[in-house]
A and B are shown apart, each in its own frame.
Chain A
């Protein structure tokens, strides 16, 4: 009696494992092999956001890279890093008119504007108005920036030594369009890939950061900047 029930349970467990494996293989990448805890989390999310339009509901669904980086707590190992780099590189799209520097004045405005993209019934942004890039939330933008955040590195002087060189422009366009094509699990949003900024807006911001006459690259203010503390220049 007892051995039989153990055998039965073992059989049941094997069937369950098989079922889970099948579910894992047949499901979309997003749902692949979620742990029991992750399934509980998804259930709580479904329960906690109530009725949403399809467009809003999609914001809560993780794509492959969001899931991978959440699991890795943004510290992907070498194999996962390679995987993310290659698939995010493949996701980059370029502007129809080719990679040409945009309008640096417009770019300055976009880099400061935190408007756009907020949804919900309580305090939505006007979807008719363009999203800002909100770069300043996380980066100090100019040598005399007294309002920039520090989640990302300072961008003061970013264009010095780069200028509007086509390779520098391509590198920066790709960095803003999809930072994870260069730094897997970067904290920076995939602005182009997620459709938050248009390719043209990204070119405007790139022009603002790279243009030799941009306030970002004003050398006279850079020279006045305090020289302390002296630290080795990080490889870039």
Chain B
């Protein structure tokens, strides 16, 4: 009896210990990823997208054969340095709050004469087609490198959209009952092996928001914040959120304000 009891007791104890273990903090993994990023920084393939974006931005393009140099990104026509750091913001000429990508779409339609629906459809690179928008976005963002994220939040519509973004972040829906907060409101959690940003940790939000657009190794291209918004909704099993829609701009505004002060350093590199 005693002989039998001991292994059973040990097994139960073992099970108890395993069950009671705290969720492992992926410090080791995070460190090696940080090393990986450091190593790749100098050879980040995303730099190729920055260079391509620079060409695209300054070349005459579209039916009107003009460059984007007359595009006002918030600091005046043609001013690129520091413009991204204060986006999203309200634009009088558009009558709405726009993030980097919605402002670029606005300029490409109104200055260059591109077709809006086509721009929206081609915004993300696929296996067959390379996106111009990803290159343009990372180029313009890179012209704010070294500057802190600093959205204005002065216009009433900016404040309104900020609150809408915050509410959306916590809004559960869909067949998985998920909201952004389901994954992004607790410390040191992972989905499979992917570490998740915690919205309640200003340090993490600053780091994350300052490092998009990013070169995604698994995608083989630069991805933008708009892509991140689409991707999260897709993974939540929600229908495709429209590119540069108010919902995405509201979430990006909310997240950027939470990341206020984060230093812009793009393109970063991610899994």
Contacts and interface: CB of A to CB of B under 8 A. Distances in A.
Interface string A36-62: 011011001101111010001101111
Interface stretch (B76-84, B178-186, B255-263): B178-186
Interface of B: 10-12, 14-24, 124, 160, 163-164, 167-168, 170-179, 181-183, 186, 188-194, 196, 230, 234-235, 237-242, 245-248, 250
Nearest to A117: B237
A103 B17 CA distance: 28
30 contacts: A37-B164, A40-B164, A41-B167, A44-B168, A45-B168, A47-B245, A47-B247, A48-B246, A48-B247, A48-B248, A49-B245, A59-B173, A59-B239, A60-B174, A69-B177, A118-B235, A120-B234, A120-B239, A120-B240, A143-B18, A147-B193, A151-B189, A153-B23, A154-B19, A160-B15, A189-B177, A222-B18, A223-B14, A225-B14, A225-B18
Nearest to B168: A41
A190 interface: yes
Contacts of A69: 172, 177
B11 A195 contact: no
B178 A189 contact: yes
A184 B80 CA distance: 49
A161 interface: yes
3 nearest A-B residue pairs (beta carbon): A120-B240, A48-B245, A48-B247
A227 B17 contact: yes
Contact of B11 (A119, A160, A194, A232): A160
A136 B164 CA distance: 32
A149 B167 contact: no
Given A40-B164, A48-B241, A156-B18, 18 more contacts: A37-B163, A41-B167, A52-B239, A59-B173, A59-B174, A60-B173, A70-B171, A118-B237, A122-B234, A150-B23, A150-B24, A156-B19, A160-B11, A161-B15, A229-B21, A231-B22, A232-B20, A234-B19
Interface in A169-195: 187-190, 194-195
Interface string A117-130: 11111110000000
Contacts of B240: 49, 119-122
A41 B164 contact: yes
B192 A119 contact: no
B15 A62 contact: no
Contacts of A214: none
Contacts of A164: none
Contacts of B23: 150, 153-154
Contacts of B164: 37, 40-41, 44
A59 B238 contact: yes
- Could you say which of A44, A50, A65 has the most chain B C-beta atoms within 10 Å of its C-beta? A44
Contact of B15 (A187, A188, A219): A219
Contacts of A195: 175
